[in-house]
Structure 1
Amino acid sequence: MKHRILVKGILISLIFLLFSVMLPAQKNIDDLLPVRAFCISAPKPVNVERFVQFINEDLAVNKINTLVLRVDFNYQFKTHPELQDSSALSEEDVRQLVTACKNNHIHLIPQINLLGHQSWAGALNKLLKVYPEFDETPTVQMPVVYGWPNPDSLYCKSYCPLHPSVHKIVFDLVDEICTIFEATAFHAGMDEVFYLGDYRCPRCAGKDKAVLFAGEVNTIRNHLAEKKRKLWIWGDRLIDGKSTGIGEWEGSFNNTQSAVRLISKDIVICDWHYDKAEQTAVYFANNKLAVVTSTWRNPAVAATQVRDMVRYRRTAKPAVKKLYQGVMQTIWSNSNSFIDDYESVKLSGIQTDTTQANCFKAMLNEIKVISETP
């Protein structure tokens, strides 16, 4: 009797082992890519319901676990109502977004552009429009018709990081938006800062631009840390755009790159490269900074970036592996038009055209392939 039971047990074990070998190995996607992120402008109030549906039916289903929402002035601020957009999200609108992310275990990170991107084309953004005294370059006038390049080298305006009153205003906004979004992290933007340490600024003239940039990053980081919130920023100002050949958009031409050694090491860097899968994630990890590789509209580049990040994590030693955090799709159109495009892509299948929707689909597909490959 005991003999028959033993034989039966061995046979069951062999059958289980055989089926285990035959079934494809399911990899732990949280170990391969801890951060699988999506970055987009926050919806307008009229589109909140549709965006919640997008969270439920597209982001969560495809294992996206981090959502960076570019809010800027698209919220009905109570601390500074003079800075809100004419059509802005209410508390109830935000609660719907927060609830959808909570229900789907998605880390929700709000963004307000700090330092740079205080204007666009020929128009000032709210902060400098309402508080012109914060302008780093007040002598540069906004053009009636914008063009690039231009004699003033105007891309976007910056606020002066050394103005004695600027942080009181912007930190009111940061605190309010982090509270209503129940956020444990905040994205401060800080990309493409061309105006910094202007020679005409009574506070910044003659100062090291890397020190100025690092000082502003650390000031924001320290403020967030008081309430145990983490800072995320774009990484382009920390890369030498000249020596690397990366250029003045994805890297710095105004000598801010050495700030990489001066900023706090608990900041998360969103390392964006859109036309080529640059290997700068290694550079950030070697500088002891957590990094998320960010893509935009090129499907082939996105797929390579996913594979690269997995390769970094597989080959790095444990202390460095944890710094390679994952990948993020960035969207630079409004949320409603992107969802329209993405709905079309879902119906037509993966395509190679350089569009945001095709890129996102390619990124998701590569994540799926990697997670299911033995």
Structure 2
Amino acid sequence: MAQTQVDKLDSTLPVRGLAIAAPMQQDLDLFIKFIDKELASGHFNLLILRVDWNYAYESHPELKDPNPLTKQDVKRIVATCRKHGIRLAPQINLLGHQSWAETTYALLREYPEFDETPHVDTKNYTPWPNPDGLYCKSYCPLHPGVHKIVFALVDELMDVFETDLFHAGMDEVFYIGDDKCPRCSGHDKAELYAGEITKIQNHLTLKDRRLMIWGDRLIDGKTTGIGAWEASMNNTHRAIDLIPKEVFICDWHYERPDQTAVYFAMKGFDVATCPWRKPEIAMEQLDDMLRFRKHSTPAMTSHFQGIISTVWSDAGRFLKSYYDPALSTQTVSDALTVKRLIEAYKSMEAGTFSLP
């Protein structure tokens, strides 16, 4: 593709991303092929990889999963992405998502003193809603020892991925400022949430790195009617006025094309809209993003960065769905959404894409 064509596509939609779990070792070869043959030819230019504990950390080896990706594995991903001009953003879920159902993840398993709600036992998990209000555990943002551990992991991961972008998750934080926490009880939840984001961004700034987060906790779920999942009902939304403007917002909406990207842009943040498993919603969100960029002031246009498609199955299962026609033709699927976006980006590059 000629450089002028690349520049034109980047000008039209600067960010064309995919957020997906980092592959397991047994799926690495196929994942490399997917980057090389699908994402590159489909004009994706950003890959967010949820690594969490799937890496052989040297700084804290006690936190690695069994059979994690090695440094050599990561370097294969880095080389493939660099070849195609695809930026990388590794992710570790910080603050929330420290457990899932009955499973407590590595950080709180190895350092239970960091738990915001130690009185809630994940072994007693029952489907949501449950008496403990348990969806996912959080670490306590005011614990004096937690950031020494997590920042060592963040630094190590960013060094091995050779990147200046880090995604901290920060979505669906239901446990924050718990009444029984000896440190957080009585604190303003918005200030706690903003304080954690600011602390992470300030750490990254020391090496000229940038933070990306999911945007749901910064939206008022009651006023907007969006509710407790894609927005906040526990008063963290006011943090939007307390966090650094360099934070990049990944604004996810999966059931409706809610246009909250405008809200984030008006607050001065760069933002990308993030679809999931409904291709028709993703196409509406792409149309919206292109329209926002076309019909806004230059100051606002620069904040509307693009689209980041999300995949919430593991990478191996996604790849099977992507390459198996019997699976990938489902009316609702992660794979079909990615394929539709690839088609759209190719038509944009060719100059044949038009808004309805």
TM-score (normalizing by structure 1):
0.90
Long gaps (5+) in structure 1: 1-24
1:1-374 matched pairs, under 5 angstroms: 28-144=8-124, 146-345=126-325, 351=329, 353-371=331-349, 372-373=351-352
The alignment's C-alpha RMSD in Å is: 1.6
Shift in Å, 1:26: 10
- Structure label with greater radius of gyration: 1
Counterpart Cα distance in 1 of 2:151 and 2:28: 26
1:225 partner letter: T
Aligned 8 A contact 1:285 1:320 in 2: yes
Shift in Å, 1:144: 4.3
Aligned 8 A contact 2:36 2:80 in 1: yes
Shift in Å, 1:359: 1.3
Aligned length: 348
Counterpart Cα distance in 2 of 1:215 and 1:26: 39
Counterpart Cα distance in 2 of 1:348 and 1:145: 32
Between the aligned residues of both structures, percent identity stands at 51
Counterpart Cα distance in 2 of 1:292 and 1:94: 25
TM-score (normalizing by structure 2):
0.95
Shift in Å, 1:366: 2.7
Shift in Å, 1:285: 0.2
Q: Deviations over 1:3-48 (max 9, x none)?
A: xxxxxxxxxxxxxxxxxxxxxx999211111000001100111221
Shift in Å, 1:132: 0.2
CA shift in 2, pair 1:348/1:250, >3 Å: closer
Counterpart Cα distance in 2 of 1:128 and 1:183: 27
**SS of equivalent to 1:293:** strand
CA shift in 2, pair 1:145/1:286, >3 Å: closer
